[in-house]
Amino acid sequence: MQEGKIVKIISNLYGVKTSLGYIECRARGKFRNDKITPLVGDFVEIDPKERYILNILERKNSLNRPQICNVDAALIVTSLKKPDISYNLLDKLILVIKESQIEPVICITKIDLLGFFEKRKIKKVLNYYQKIGIKVFYNNKLSDLVKYLKGKTVVLTGQTGAGKSSLLNKLNKNLNLETNPISDALGRGVHTTRHTEIHEVDGIYFADTPGFSSINLENINKDNIMIGFPEFNEFTCDYKDCHHIDEKECKVKKGVNEGKILKSRYESYVSFFKELKKWLVFRF
């Protein structure tokens, strides 16, 4: 029996990195019978001769979309232009990531496409995210990012076309990951990552994964929504069960009107609140 880590999944083949080298394995039938799916990031015990996964070790965390586990940080690669930044998607990713007990980190791309006044405006917004405890880096200063993520397993998330694969290629040109230009017709990127795979770059274990824009909040509950909006905790409303939506004299709404809470952040909160009600997660 040999221990290793799943670093790549294509169809029903699991690429496991071990001290003996890279071994492609299949999962034993018991996992399917027990409704357990091996994930990229899983630490496993394998039979290196028969090439079967025998056991999956305990996970410290996991994400559903994308399917990956044992992650230290999630790098939210965020384009400012082509495609334009989506604050709603950014805030949704932050909420889901933090609820999964993973640290969200923002990496900004394509700042060079902005004009002077656009840069000044966006930097004020990004300073706000840093103020509420989220690290923000720029892809034109990668040495700072590499230093911070050293030794961590990191999942890349963000808009399609934001530059996730391009970022990995920039860090390690030998990867030569496929990239495609933005579709002029759709105004967004074209998927290039077709499977989940971990790449080791400068002592960082990056997981390149497909499909993040379809992420939803079906597994988030009422209490955990505030994990994504820590700045709201600075305002104590008169009503203990204030939802910060329609209530009068709401201190959070007052904070928005006074410019103490970013308007786009509050708008994200309202949309998430309504989405959570749709998933019947709230228990009034």
Q: Would you kindly state where each structural domain of the chain is located, as residue ranges? A: 2-58, 63-208, 223-278
**Distance (Å, whole) CA 114 – CA 111:** 6
Instruction: Please calculate the CA angle 36-42-48 and round it to the nearest 5 degrees.
Output: 95
42 neighbors 9 (Cβ within 8 angstroms): no
- Which of 5, 7, 44 has the alpha carbon at shortest distance from 209? 7
**Distance (Å, whole) CA 63 – CA 47:** 27
> Which homologous superfamily does the CATH classification assign to the domain defined by 223-278?
Probable gtpase engc; domain 3 (1.10.40.50)
**Distance (Å, whole) CA 34 – CA 237:** 46
Q: So what's the pLDDT on residue 176?
A: 58
Place of tokens 């505030």: 226
pTM: 0.82
Q: Which two tokens stand for residue 254?
A: 């007052």
Q: Is CATH 3.40.50.300 what the domain over 63-208 is classified as, yes or no?
A: yes
CATH class of 2-58: mainly beta
- Tens-digit pLDDT profile for the chain (284 aa)? 899 999 999 888 999 999 999 999 999 988 988 889 999 999 999 999 999 999 999 999 988 777 889 999 999 999 999 889 999 999 999 998 998 899 999 999 999 999 999 999 999 999 999 999 999 999 888 899 999 999 999 988 877 777 777 887 888 766 655 544 444 433 444 444 457 788 888 889 988 665 444 567 777 876 789 999 999 999 999 888 899 998 988 999 999 999 999 999 999 999 999 888 776 544 44
**Distance (Å, whole) CA 38 – CA 89:** 27
Which residues, including other chains, have CB under 8 Å from residue 277's CB and lie 6 or more apart?
none
Which neighbouring-strand residues pair with 233?
Answer: none
